[in-house]
Amino acid sequence: MSEILKLFKAQASKVAGDLRHRSLIQTALGKYETQRDRRKAAFQSWEEARQVAAETKWEAMRSLDEHLVSFVNKLEARGTRVHWASNGVQARDIILGVIRAKKARCVIKSKAMTAEEIHLNEAMEKEGYEVVESDLGEFIVQLRKEAPYHIVFPAMHLTRDEISDLFHRELGSAQTSDPEELTMIARRALRKKYIAADIGITGANFAIAETGMISITENEGNARLTAALPKTMITLLGIEKVLPRMADLALFLPMLATAGAGQPITCYNSLYGGPRRPGEPDGPEEYHVVLLDNRRTELLADAEQRDALHCIRCGACLNVCPIYRNVGGHTYGTTYSGPIGSVITPHLRGLQDWKHLSAASSLCGACTETCPVKINLHHHLLHNRRNAAAQNPNWIEKTAFRVFGTVMNSLALYRVVRAAARCLQPLHGLVKGGPFDPARAWTKTRELAPVAPKTFREQWKERA
Amino acid sequence: MKVTLFIPCFVDLCFPRVGMSMVTILERLGHQVTFHEDVICCGQPAFNSGFWEETRVVARKVLQRLESSEAVVIASGSCGAMMKVFYPEIFDHAPEAPAARALAAKCFEFSEFLVNRLGVTDLGARFPAKVTFHDGCHGLRELGAKKPARALLSRVKDLTLVEMKDAETCCGFGGTFAAKFPMISTAMGEVKCLSAEETGADYIVSNDSSCLMHVQGLLDRQGKKVKTIHLAEILASA
Ligand code: SF4
């Protein structure tokens, strides 16, 4: 068993049995579900909206090359410097290069999962720069030196009291369990940082090919400040963020808000197209856009699973996933957790190391049912399982399934197995649930259904 | 109509009453029931584990033996999904593709068959108890069969159906998943059992014995009073 899998199992066992975690997450997501359903009902037809969104993303991905060129040309025409990064190392080097050239000391960041993906903060801190997350949830997990627990709600796993303790310890603030007061504490700490920052780094929710613009949608206004105050702005985004037209936002913005947080629309929606132009009162003097591939083009080449690139990172599939709800976001050990993480991580970071995430699913399909862009998530878990087994099969398992096939195709052998099961059943009681029980994985927590005195086949025969 | 019954291996071995109840109901409705003793399993455990070639070995036999059937009724939504949704996928572009599609077109999960194919909801059953219904995920999402089971239950005399919280949430069985990740599977099952218990129901009903096997296994271990029962057993009772 690989170290990554061992860690996953250990962590999953710990969190799955943690009743406090279970009720915390259930309560948080229960509220989300109520809100989401109310907002979904406000769509004339949510199902049709999903269909249109899926088709729009197909269109975007089918001619991604053309869309990207259009996007970049428009951006560059306004004086934006666009950089292409094939992988995380390149993206980090590009960004560090800009920071160095600007002789910057302090960097303020708004939420960007792509930055987590390439471990940008660590790289900047290693070079001695001060990096501050400005999204409240991200700010909290940064203070805790933790990865985000969820792609949309980074600090969902924490109670108000825990956050108060953290602020008290790290920022010296007075204890409070009033959410507004907690927000104010963070805001006061962050205001100073905005003013001190030389560089602002943002992610992107959408990249509009038609107009060459970055769309950022957020609830706290922190991305706006991150973009507006520092002299230099950098946006890091994956190449799959493209939407063909500006008009597509009319669907995608409310859809993202509804699926992601049960909101009609997110509070602040901004578009960025370039640095400050002569005569404009605000905006950065210099604007850099870093386009990240990091194996996305490989996923694009996979005809079966390329729809995974449609993901708008709304987090809805995490929210409905019973696995995610029980093991929690950190257990995955990946930037992208939940169903979408289980689907794409093997593509982004290696199938053999991350195939267990595709196996750790009951394939219930709640993710696919909820995904606003109709990614065939749970079937892709099956595809990953197949690809993993074909590439590097576990020989014990493979042999077992060969035997299984032979038995299931032969009534005589099946009868032998049935007879054996009957004989061994009384003996099973002696070892049941213990270390010598071959069925321990099941019987440790569950009773095993006994073989009936007369099976269906036997009863059927008697009737004839 | 000539109806071929597909009894999955675990129903054959552990839940024969479910299969026999289906025979009773279909015959009561005037259909001729046939059963191929040598069609044992749909191959799902191998498929779910990623061993598609090993699955095809089992699936080929199913295709061949059920080729001439008029309608195939499957005693589990999960095996139903395997034959209806995944056989066409594993034989995509293969010589067996037409046979797989033909079988998919005439396969039905039991409750779906009664309501959608035969148009029957009232079977004259009586079951004086309070029950709650658990949707098996494969029947619900792969086959899109949410309504049939409830339509059938609504016609059972003296039965009260109380919906549980998150009735559509997975019970955590998931086939080989239950053994590969028992800690996650058990946690999911505990959540399910609790939701069911909160309704005060005497029985947890489902149209999938695989979910019930999991749920009952947990309930028994915890010494809980709630019992599980398959929809067909209720419908066969008078
Ligand atoms: S896969 Fe779908 S549901 Fe999940 S985060 Fe992406 S868009 Fe949202």
From CA A336, how far away is CA A148, in angstroms rounded? 9
Residue A367: name the closest of A407, A315, A431, A418 by CA: A315
SS3 label, residue A262: coil
Instruction: Name which of A364, A368, A408 is nearest B40 (Cβ-Cβ).
Output: A408
Judgement on whether residues A260 and A121 belong to the same structural domain of the protein: yes
Judgement on whether residues A219 and A96 belong to the same structural domain of the protein: yes
Judgement on whether residues A289 and A142 belong to the same structural domain of the protein: yes
> Is A237's C-beta closer than 6 angstroms to any atom of ligand 1?
no
- What are the residues facing A234 on neighbouring strands? A201, A288
SS3 label, residue B50: coil
Residues 264-293 of A with CB under 8 A from B: none
Residue B65: name the closest of B27, B33, B35 by CA: B35
CA distance, residue A402 to nearest chain B CA (Å): 6
Residue A79: count of CB within 10 angstroms of its CB: 14
Whether residue B146 is predicted with pLDDT greater than 90 in this model: the reply is no
Q: What is the mean pLDDT of residues A45-73?
A: 98
Residue A377: name the closest of A367, A389, A362 by CA: A367
pLDDT band at A427 (very low <50, low <70, confident <90, very high): confident
Q: Give, for ligand 1, the residue of A317, A334, A342, A376 to mutate: max count of ligand atoms closer than 8 Å to Cβ.
A: A317
Whether A461 and chain B come into contact, CB under 8 Å, resolves to yes
pLDDT band at A220 (very low <50, low <70, confident <90, very high): very high
Query: Which of A392, A410, A426 is the last residue before a domain boundary?
Result: A392
Judgement on whether residues A225 and A363 belong to the same structural domain of the protein: no
> Could you tell me the distance, in angstroms and rounded to a whole number, from the CA of residue A274 to the centre of ligand 1?
29
Q: Which residues of B touch A421 (CB under 8 A)?
A: 13
Whether residue A436 is predicted with pLDDT greater than 90 in this model: the reply is no
Q: What is the mean pLDDT of residues A265-274?
A: 96
Q: Are B224 and B190 in contact (CB under 8 A)?
A: no
Q: Does residue A302 lie within any of the structural domains?
A: no
Q: Give, for ligand 1, the residue of A36, A58, A313, A378 to mutate: max count of ligand atoms closer than 8 Å to Cβ.
A: A313
> Could you tell me the distance, in angstroms and rounded to a whole number, from the CA of residue A318 to the centre of ligand 1?
8
What residues have CB less than 8 Å from A366, skipping those under 6 apart? A317, A320, A321, A322, B137, B141, B168, B169, B170
Whether A369 and chain B come into contact, CB under 8 Å, resolves to yes
Q: Does residue A126 lie within any of the structural domains?
A: yes
Q: Does residue A439 lie within any of the structural domains?
A: yes
Q: Does residue A337 lie within any of the structural domains?
A: yes
**Interface-testing mutation among A446, A454, A458, A463, with chain B (most B C-beta atoms within 10 A):** A446
Distance, C-alpha A212 to centroid of its chain: 26
Q: Does residue A308 lie within any of the structural domains?
A: no
CA distance, residue B110 to nearest chain A CA (Å): 16
pLDDT digits (tens, 9 = 90+) for A233-250: 999 999 999 999 999 999
Judgement on whether residues A325 and A212 belong to the same structural domain of the protein: no
**DSSP class of residue A77?**
H
Q: Give me A403's structure tokens.
A: 């035997």
Number of domains in chain A: 3
How much is the pLDDT for A291? 98
**Interface-testing mutation among A362, A395, A442, with chain B (most B C-beta atoms within 10 A):** A362
Residue A369: count of CB within 10 angstroms of its CB: 17
From CA A8, how far away is CA A73, in angstroms rounded? 44
ipTM, two decimals, is 0.96
Q: Give me A3's structure tokens.
A: 């170290």
Judgement on whether residues A213 and A114 belong to the same structural domain of the protein: yes
How much is the pLDDT for A327? 97
Q: Where are the alpha helices (DSSP H) in B75-207?
A: 77-81, 87-90, 97-105, 110-112, 137, 147-154, 177-180, 182-198
Instruction: Name which of A388, A405, A418 is nearest B50 (Cβ-Cβ).
Output: A388
- The β-bridge relationship of strands A206-208 and A213-218 is antiparallel
> Would the pTM count as exceeding 0.90?
yes
**DSSP class of residue A302?**
-
> Could you tell me the distance, in angstroms and rounded to a whole number, from the CA of residue A425 to the centre of ligand 1?
45
Instruction: Name which of A327, A386, A449 is nearest B14 (Cβ-Cβ).
Output: A449
Judgement on whether residues A216 and A81 belong to the same structural domain of the protein: yes
Q: Give me A311's structure tokens.
A: 């993901």
pLDDT digits (tens, 9 = 90+) for A2-20: 899 999 999 999 999 999 9
Judgement on whether residues A454 and A424 belong to the same structural domain of the protein: yes
Whether A300 and chain B come into contact, CB under 8 Å, resolves to no
A65, exposed or middle or buried, with CB in 10 Å at 0-12, 13-18, 19+? Answer: exposed
Q: Which residues of B touch A366 (CB under 8 A)?
A: 137, 141, 168-170
Query: For A436-458, b where at least 16 C-beta lie within 10 A, e where not — what string?
Result: ebeebbbbebbbbbebbeebbbe
Looking at the CA of residue A338, tell me the nearest atom of ligand 1. Answer: 4
Average pLDDT, whole number, for chain B?
Answer: 96
> Could you tell me the distance, in angstroms and rounded to a whole number, from the CA of residue A283 to the centre of ligand 1?
32
Q: Does residue A79 lie within any of the structural domains?
A: yes
How much is the pLDDT for A398? 95
> Is A341's C-beta closer than 6 angstroms to any atom of ligand 1?
no
Greatest CA span in chain B, whole angstroms? 52
From CA B88, how far away is CA B94, in angstroms rounded? 9
Q: Give, for ligand 1, the residue of A36, A58, A371 to mutate: max count of ligand atoms closer than 8 Å to Cβ.
A: A371
Q: Would the CB atoms of A408 and B58 count as touching at under 8 Å?
A: yes
Q: Are A287 and A79 in contact (CB under 8 A)?
A: yes
Residue B71: count of CB within 10 angstroms of its CB: 17
Dump the DSSP string for A363-425.
---HHHHH-TT---HHHHHHHHHHHHHHHS--HHHHHHHHHHHHHHT-HHHHHHHHHHHHHHH
Judgement on whether residues A84 and A214 belong to the same structural domain of the protein: yes
For residue A296, what are the CA distances in angstroms to A207, A302, A346, A349?
A: 16, 10, 12, 11
> Is A309's C-beta closer than 6 angstroms to any atom of ligand 1?
no
CA distance, residue A462 to nearest chain B CA (Å): 12
Q: Does residue A299 lie within any of the structural domains?
A: no
pLDDT band at A354 (very low <50, low <70, confident <90, very high): very high
CA distance, residue B154 to nearest chain A CA (Å): 26
CA distance, residue B82 to nearest chain A CA (Å): 12
Whether residue A345 is predicted with pLDDT greater than 90 in this model: the reply is yes
Residue B71: name the closest of B117, B38, B9, B115 by CA: B117
Q: Does residue A306 lie within any of the structural domains?
A: no
- The β-bridge relationship of strands A199-202 and A232-238 is parallel
Judgement on whether residues A260 and A363 belong to the same structural domain of the protein: no
Domain harbouring A72, CATH code: 3.40.50.10420
Q: Which residues of A touch B12 (CB under 8 A)?
A: 455-457
pLDDT digits (tens, 9 = 90+) for B83-132: 999 999 999 999 999 999 999 999 999 999 999 999 999 999 999 999 99
Whether A323 and chain B come into contact, CB under 8 Å, resolves to yes
Backbone angles phi, psi at A452, to 5 degrees: -65, 150
Place of tokens 């109806």: B3
Backbone angles phi, psi at B145, to 5 degrees: -100, 85
**Type of residue found at A310:** H
**First-to-last CA distance in chain B?**
24
Owning domain of residue A416: 395-463
> Is A256's C-beta closer than 6 angstroms to any atom of ligand 1?
no
Query: Which of A246, A265, A294 is the last residue before a domain boundary?
Result: A294
Whether A444 and chain B come into contact, CB under 8 Å, resolves to yes
Judgement on whether residues A380 and A448 belong to the same structural domain of the protein: no
From CA A287, how far away is CA A299, in angstroms rounded? 29
pLDDT band at A67 (very low <50, low <70, confident <90, very high): very high
SS3 label, residue A279: coil
Q: What is the mean pLDDT of residues B69-78?
A: 96
Judgement on whether residues A257 and A111 belong to the same structural domain of the protein: yes
Average pLDDT, whole number, for chain A?
Answer: 96
Query: Which of A264, A294, A324 is the last residue before a domain boundary?
Result: A294
Whether residue A433 is predicted with pLDDT greater than 80 in this model: the reply is no
**Interface-testing mutation among B54, B83, B141, B220, with chain A (most A C-beta atoms within 10 A):** B54
Dump the DSSP string for A92-123.
HHHHHHHHHHTT--EEEE---HHHHHTTHHHH
Q: Which residues of A touch B51 (CB under 8 A)?
A: 386, 389, 393, 397-398, 401
Q: Would the CB atoms of A386 and B187 count as touching at under 8 Å?
A: no
> Is A260's C-beta closer than 6 angstroms to any atom of ligand 1?
no
